[in-house]
Amino acid sequence: MADNAKWYVIHTYSGYEKTVAATIEKAVDNRKLQDLIQEVNIPVETVTEIADSKTKVTEHNIFPGYVLVKMVMTDESWHLVRNVRGVTGFVGSANKPIPLTDEEIASLGVEKSEIVVGYQEGDSVKIIDGPLDGFIGTVEEVEVNKNRVRVVVSMFGRETPVDLELDQVEASN
């Protein structure tokens, strides 16, 4: 039966996503319905902001007002989810929820990560971690998707490019 599980989208009141997910998970545990409702997921994006030597990580809902549920659609599972406080319904026609396709699930990427840095190419930065801790250099290249920054540092009278992770440097004032 678990092989028939598909991903469905539940529409909720905005701001109730975590409450709805927790309530569904609790009901599944209480009623021992793990074979019908396997996973509850809120697609979030993790944003890391680096500024003034402080790293701040926040999560943002990618689709506010929606929760994803991997479940086997039966009358019992439909009623359990549909009767949770904060749920307005399934995405689909009136009483016929439509499951997501494999392509849609892959494109959702369930978790995405984005890093916001407080410096750019040409800026002067201070290395705050690693063997070059304390060195000042100039940003030559920033590759946020690879979590990499290339900094040119003056060592022994020579300009030397050094590849570092984004959180190993901070903008120097």
Of 58, 80, 85, 56, the closest CA to residue 8 belongs to 80
Contact 85, 22 (CB under 8 A): no
How do the domains of the chain map onto residue ranges?
Answer: 2-114, 119-171
Q: How far apart are CA 65 and CA 43, in angstroms?
A: 11
CA 118 – CA 55 distance, rounded (Å)? 10
Q: Which of 128, 135, 141 is nearest to 155 (CA)?
A: 135
Q: What is the pLDDT of residues 68-94, one digit of tens each?
A: 999 999 999 999 999 999 999 999 876
Average pLDDT for the chain: 87
Q: What is the DSSP letter of 61?
A: E
pTM: 0.61
Question: Who contacts 114 (Cβ-Cβ below 8 Å, separation ≥6)?
Answer: 45, 46, 47, 48, 144
Q: From CA 69, how far away is CA 83, in angstroms rounded? A: 14
Question: What does residue 86 show for φ and ψ, rounded to 5 degrees?
Answer: 100, -15
pLDDT, position 111: 45
Homologous superfamily, domain 2-114: NusG, N-terminal domain (3.30.70.940)
Residue 114's alpha-carbon distances to 59, 65, 122, 160, in angstroms, are 10, 21, 22, 28
pLDDT of residue 100: 87
Condensed to tens digits (0 to 9), the pLDDT of residues 23-36 reads 999 999 999 999 99
CATH class of 119-171: mainly beta
- Helices and strands counted in the chain (H then E): 3, 14
With pLDDT > 70 as the criterion, what percentage of the chain qualifies? 92
